[in-house]
């Protein structure tokens, strides 16, 4: 695509996007806020009770991060396992197997570290 086409598309998108924003603002107007319930962040009808001492445990976040980390490991291992026979036929099986063993060793070390540092224990 020539440079003129890229410049034209960029200018067209900028002008069209700006026009849509101004048109939406002109037609839509401002939302009418008629009650305090509409101003609240959660409109369920129950008054919000804010507790200063309520804290979310870091263990929830740590468990979620560890779950995602080890879930991604499985996502990488599944296609490797499906295609390993093709690598063997191509003659690169030893290299691919060595790289996967290195990958698994790193994650086993990560799991060992998580257990050793008591990251998975809820009661401390």
Q: Report yes or no: 76 and 99 within 8 Å, Cβ to Cβ.
A: no
- Report H helices in the chain: 3-28, 36-39, 58-90, 93-116
Orientation of helix 58-90 relative to helix 93-116, angle to 10° = 160
How does residue 19 score in pLDDT terms, banded at 50, 70 and 90? very high
pLDDT digits 0-9 by tens, 56-91: 777 788 888 888 888 888 888 889 889 999 999 999
pLDDT score at 44: 63
Q: Report yes or no: 119 and 61 within 8 Å, Cβ to Cβ.
A: no
Place of tokens 């034209």: 8
């Amino acid at each position: 695509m020539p440079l003129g086409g890229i410049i034209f598309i960029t200018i067209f998108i900028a002008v069209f996007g700006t026009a849509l924003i101004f048109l939406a603002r002109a037609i839509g107007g401002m939302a009418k806020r008629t009650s305090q319930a509409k101003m609240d962040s959660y409109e369920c009808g129950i008054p919000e009770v804010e507790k200063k001492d309520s804290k979310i445990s870091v263990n929830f976040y740590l468990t979620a991060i560890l779950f995602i980390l080890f879930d991604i490991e499985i996502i990488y291992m599944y296609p490797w396992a499906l295609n390993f026979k093709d690598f063997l036929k191509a003659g690169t099986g030893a290299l691919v197997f060595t790289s996967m063993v290195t990958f698994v060793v790193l994650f086993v070390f990560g799991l060992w570290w998580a257990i050793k540092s008591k990251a998975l224990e809820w009661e401390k």
